[in-house]
C-alpha cells in the first residue's frame, strides 16, 4: 500500500468512525434487547462488517471489541447505556441514507434467529425514533421486502 493509499484509508476511517459507532450501537441495542445475544446475532454482526461498505475499512476485530464494550455497558448500566447508544445513532437522524442503512442493520440483527421477541421489536422501534423515523411502517416494509 502506497503512502497516499494509507492516508486515504486513515481519512476514511476517521470520517466514518461515528458511523461505525452508530452501527455497533444498533447491533448492541437490538441483540441485547431480550437479554441474550445469540450466536446467530453475532454471526450477523460479522456479516454486516463484511458487507456494509462504510464498515469494511475497519479491522473487524476492533469493531467487535467496540460492540463488546457496548454490550458490557448495557449489561452494567442498562437504560443509561441505552440512552448513550441511541445518542450515537441519533447523530444520523438528518442523514437519510445513513439512517436507512442503520435501520437495515438493526432489522438484519433482529431477524437473525428467526424469532423476533417483543423486546427486540421495541428496541428496533426506539432506534427508529432516534433517527426521527416513524417505526409503524418501517419494520413491515422491511419484512415485505425480505419476503419478496
Q: What is the pLDDT of residues 81-128, one digit of tens each?
A: 999 999 999 999 999 999 999 999 999 999 998 888 999 999 999 999
Q: What is the pLDDT of residues 71-93, one digit of tens each?
A: 999 999 999 999 999 999 999 99
Is residue 84 domain-resident?
A: yes
Is residue 28 domain-resident?
A: yes
Q: 100: domain range?
A: 7-147
What CA–CA distances, in Å, run from 27 to 3, 4, 32, 38, 99?
34, 33, 8, 12, 14
Is residue 2 domain-resident?
A: no
CATH number at residue 99: 1.10.3680
What CA–CA distances, in Å, run from 106 to 1, 4, 12, 73?
34, 35, 23, 19
Are the C-beta atoms of 129 and 139 separated by less than 8 Å? Answer: no
Domain count, the chain: 1
Single pTM value for the model:
0.89
Is residue 1 domain-resident?
A: no
Amino acid at each position: 500500500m502506497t503512502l497516499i493509499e494509507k492516508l486515504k484509508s486513515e481519512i476514511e476511517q476517521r470520517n466514518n468512525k461515528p458511523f461505525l459507532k452508530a452501527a455497533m450501537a444498533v447491533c448492541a441495542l437490538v441483540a441485547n434487547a431480550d437479554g441474550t445475544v445469540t450466536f446467530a446475532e453475532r454471526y450477523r454482526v460479522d456479516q454486516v462488517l463484511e458487507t456494509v461498505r462504510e464498515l469494511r475499512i475497519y479491522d473487524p476485530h476492533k469493531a467487535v471489541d467496540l460492540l463488546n464494550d457496548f454490550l458490557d455497558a448495557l449489561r452494567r448500566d442498562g437504560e443509561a447505556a441505552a440512552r448513550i447508544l441511541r445518542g450515537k445513532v441519533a447523530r444520523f437522524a438528518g442523514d437519510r441514507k445513513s439512517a436507512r442503512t442503520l435501520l437495515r442493520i438493526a432489522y438484519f440483527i433482529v431477524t437473525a434467529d428467526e424469532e423476533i421477541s417483543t423486546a427486540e421489536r421495541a428496541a428496533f422501534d426506539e432506534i427508529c425514533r432516534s433517527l426521527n423515523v416513524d417505526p409503524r411502517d418501517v419494520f413491515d416494509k422491511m419484512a415485505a421486502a425480505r419476503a419478496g
